[in-house]
Structure 1
């Protein structure tokens, strides 16, 4: 039996020679594992499972197994199992720190017999760490169920750590690599935003407004900060006509006070911001998160967000929320932690509170601290910072994409590369809804302690494209703007987005993922909701859409088209995506118990005239039945079918014929 112990070079790309590598998936037994009053899963035996978290770099990490004591007179061991049962030709051990203590490598066969693969007869080197590769001369004559690593920690002074253990049938040495985002350009230009934004002090946590025109961030110890301690305050800068950033200004009270103030996120309409800590009326702060909304006179006093069982053991926390405003991503250390501060998700409840945070799991969180999460405008792409995944030094910025609607399943995090990430601490990655530029904090080439930078976002790490929909809500009779609640329903994944429109604070604004179709409507007491379709299924890039919404006052004689009521082809069967529109009619009639309506059915001129007339009558009768099933007395609903006799458009094309196939509702009595 022969072996080679290979010291591998640091690499940042996947190996070119294909080989099937199996990383340890479970701990079978161990002699000891590090523990103290301040740790949870840090340096436990489970940290040796899966791919390396530290290599190809070397050094201490809480994401590695570490025996309980240094330089123990007793042998230490770790036994791990794999998701396979096969003969092997190679064992790879990621010794990230204090390497040189391995004295034996043994294997358990399928009958749990222990076989010695290698005995170390060499003296330790002075290397900090390495990937140790035991390559056998041929496949083992037995199938390997588990691997046992035996250490003599007296061989090397200080702590000894093992990052990962792998097996393979290949004789090509297994290497550790950084999981880089694909197709990163060779050159990415990082631009310091200059002295109008940055200073000799520390600028961190940039939050870019959805339209990319206002940059909010946190500034430490600046002479213009409030309070004698000049703690941290929130500042902002606005883009000028020449494309440069204007001189930054502090946000002032009530956002800034004498305590530590920091902005975390901004809503898609730019009218709501999340702020770290809970603002108390006496000027003091408590752990948690607050929300402030823009009013005609400025930002309102921040109100606390009530999160169930919010008991953060960490001194720090960061927050971000989804574009629909109903999902909160936060960091903290709660009962269920992978170690230190993790990323969690909380969901908005019907009573306005937020559910108990759920840990996003091992795919995202590590035994190191995760921080600065940012959910992009597509609601699916998450950027965050950690040093618990293989990278370039201290904290690196990673991205992961949400795989389903549970918010618990994520793709394997991808490192944003060595141009964005440095050997220093990197984080606070924020991208505008347009998706063209990203803003982040970095110490590299900073004017002061830490600065705000921007870069043009490479295609491979961009979030999915969104459509920015803006506009106002108006009375259909007199065209005057009115405050209202706006609701957008996705016909693709059934997601909803709700915003409030106030004419005094400007147009409503929302970001909707492209490649989907929607219905948009507004509601206000005393008015009939009018919904309209929004079709972005063919849009692949960011675009802006102006969409004004008109509400019909509940007055006798008023008429509107139910744009979002759909039927099966040539049938009276109501399609499921019509139900939200009809439910809005039910709600209005419940709010107005004396209201009576007339439902009128219309078709285009294609096909038999008499069949069209009958179909139009059948369809409005089906609508009437739906309203009755929802609790509306059928005596309040009249029906009439007109077939193709009352077109509102020509029938020269399919697009125009669509306008003629409709259901109209007329208020008979209010």
Structure 2
């Protein structure tokens, strides 16, 4: 700690009371030079001195720090001037010297009128420390408000490169310190379990991907003798969970998933029947940059098909991907034109033509001038784990968690380090969690059999994603109860979150992972059938569990009747709620496909309230449904309506649950 005197006289003045808060530099005003390399983008530029420290309390070289273009320069001083969001009198200036500590020659500040005030001159020789926080604490608050700070360097004082990680001001006389932003309430002890020799070897085991049900572990092996091809590059392996909860002997994927080139799995879809694979496969066995999808069929995994991403040109040799549970959001680690430096994390959205949108950078709250890689989006679609050394940590790449703050996918909480019980001084990456949310799997070098091994740990509450529920089932013909291939769709009643999967009876159940605290509608659709939606209410659920929900399709025929379970109204009103539109749009599509179809809409209520008012409300509600269909292109003459009020209950009215069944709209095909 350095306690210094101002080199100017102070006069007694009345000063406003500020909270004792640290303000980090927010803007670069000027600088003498910055390191530029044709292979880099924003690395070591002056802007890297802004914000909180990216390296301290750890010290050492970092691309997330400002580095002047010259070193060992005894003729010309280097300098940087930074300003702050808050202009105020100060008691302390703190400068994070992460590398080449001791080169700072003097520090000055500028007041509101841009007058310069000397603060500190360094008359001491370097201490041979690699880095530290330089705390310049004044005897009292400045009599003026500080607009900006200038830090000057004599780079000849400390040989090699000199770097500044961050600059701060404060009104406190307590030394500003830096710390690692740890996840809150992490336990003091965490058991990391090496998965053993059925999984790991003396070679590199990387990129674990756990199936949604937690029963199959996929991963990548590098240079293993049993890999395919002469060079034994990297192949995908898998292991299945045994009855005693241990992992069985790993087996390599067969062709075409593994070939003589580099093969790696990125993610598995919630249905467990779709793999996202690194690289683009061609029929001649050659590979190129990008990603592919392989779908499970009755005869095994199909040949990987290329996934098209608009304007996706990765400048890095490497890339990683993660798919959100709805199958419509893709997280990408790659180096694109607008990178913060090295690989950044991006998001891409599935389009109507089944291509993926141009990737959008997740923003500076997540991305740094270092590589951000190995993203994994949890089953709640909000909790994101990734690996980087761009934030304060414990060594090489550390594992971090951040949480999505809105629907834009570009606003995230400040990343939290998973802590020293998980992160090590070595490289740590590829964190993944099953949908159950009980165990996490990751790659680490510490206590491995050779190079990286795969470990597991019981997930502490502090870093768990939100709870999800697994919904699975089949789709059946309501007449003969035989399975029917169909598109299954789930939509939240409170937001735009929609999930779609294809049900293929030859390959098993459909499957979804849905966050709790929400209510959903689920339905199946297939040409030639009417669909009936169901309500999935998870608003009060607290724990992971599995829900079996079989869906039924109704053959289009005269006399066919279904209840529109997903048509909603305000309490005691007849205005349609937006959550109704999915089911009504399916009716519109069905009537367009069958231009001679005529229907009857029947409205029903429970027995609560005035009988006549209930009759009136039932008529108003079905009339509102008819109006919606007409507005969407269905001829009015094809739709009849009838309101029955409370006269035709399908259940007793003795409880709210039963009364809910009586409040309904029914759909009957009159003519086909």
User: TM-score, normalising length from structure 2?
Assistant: 0.96
Question: Could you say which residue in structure 1 is the equivalent of 2:157?
Answer: 155
Question: Could you say which residue in structure 2 is the equivalent of 1:92?
Answer: 94
Question: Could you say which residue in structure 2 is the equivalent of 1:285?
Answer: 287
Distance 1:113 1:589 in 2: 76
Distance 1:345 1:571 in 2: 40
Query: Quick one: which of 294, 297, 306 aligns to 2:296?
Result: 294
Question: Could you say which residue in structure 2 is the equivalent of 1:416?
Answer: 418
Cα displacement (A) at 1:568: 2.7
Aligned 1:188-267 pairs, distance under 5 A: 188-267=190-269
CA deviation vs aligned residue, 1:559-604 (integer Å, no higher than 9, x gap): 1101111223333332232222211111110111111111112122
Query: Quick one: which of 114, 133, 136 aligns to 2:135?
Result: 133
Distance 1:567 1:168 in 2: 55
Distance 1:2 1:63 in 2: 28
Aligned 1:343-362 pairs, distance under 5 A: 343-362=345-364
Distance 1:240 1:650 in 2: 48
Aligned 1:2-13 pairs, distance under 5 A: 2-3=3-4
Cα displacement (A) at 1:124: 0.8
Distance 2:620 2:163 in 1: 75
Query: Quick one: which of 367, 378, 388 aligns to 2:369?
Result: 367
Question: Could you say which residue in structure 2 is the equivalent of 1:13?
Answer: none
Does the 8 Å CA contact 2:494/2:579 hold for their aligned counterparts? no
Once structures 1 and 2 are overlaid, which stretch shifts more, 642-651 or 58-67? 642-651
Cα displacement (A) at 1:36: 1.3
CA deviation vs aligned residue, 1:424-451 (integer Å, no higher than 9, x gap): 0100000000100000000000112110
- 1:29 matches 2:30: yes
Aligned 1:429-468 pairs, distance under 5 A: 429-468=431-470
Give the SS at the match of 2:244.
Answer: coil
Distance 2:50 2:425 in 1: 25
Question: Could you say which residue in structure 1 is the equivalent of 2:11?
Answer: none
CA deviation vs aligned residue, 1:52-76 (integer Å, no higher than 9, x gap): 1010011000000111011012111
Distance 1:140 1:625 in 2: 71
Cα displacement (A) at 1:456: 0.3
Query: Quick one: which of 102, 109, 112 aligns to 2:111?
Result: 109
Tell me the C-alpha RMSD between the 2 structures. Answer: 1.2
Cα displacement (A) at 1:610: 3.1
Cα displacement (A) at 1:197: 0.7
Does the 8 Å CA contact 2:650/2:662 hold for their aligned counterparts? yes
Question: Could you say which residue in structure 2 is the equivalent of 1:650?
Answer: 652
- 1:55 matches 2:56: yes
Cα displacement (A) at 1:19: 3.6
Question: Could you say which residue in structure 2 is the equivalent of 1:641?
Answer: 643
Distance 1:180 1:614 in 2: 60
Inter-CA distance 128–571: structure 2 relative to 1 (3 Å threshold): closer
Cα displacement (A) at 1:639: 1.8
Cα displacement (A) at 1:321: 1.1
Query: Quick one: which of 372, 382, 395 aligns to 2:384?
Result: 382
Give the SS at the match of 2:657.
Answer: helix
- Matched positions, count: 657
Cα displacement (A) at 1:2: 5.0
- 1:142 matches 2:138: no
CA deviation vs aligned residue, 1:213-256 (integer Å, no higher than 9, x gap): 00000001111100010010000000000110000000111110
Cα displacement (A) at 1:623: 1.6
Unaligned runs of 5+ in 1: 5-17
Cα displacement (A) at 1:269: 0.8
- 1:311 matches 2:313: yes
Cα displacement (A) at 1:408: 0.5
Cα displacement (A) at 1:493: 1.7
Distance 1:571 1:203 in 2: 60
Distance 1:109 1:613 in 2: 76
Once structures 1 and 2 are overlaid, which stretch shifts more, 276-285 or 560-569? 560-569
Query: Quick one: which of 342, 345, 353 aligns to 2:344?
Result: 342
Unaligned runs of 5+ in 2: 6-18
Distance 2:154 2:610 in 1: 91
Give the SS at the match of 1:612.
Answer: helix
Question: Could you say which residue in structure 1 is the equivalent of 2:14?
Answer: none
User: TM-score, normalising length from structure 1?
Assistant: 0.97
Question: Could you say which residue in structure 1 is the equivalent of 2:521?
Answer: 519
Question: Could you say which residue in structure 2 is the equivalent of 1:46?
Answer: 47
Give the SS at the match of 2:156.
Answer: helix
Cα displacement (A) at 1:613: 2.5
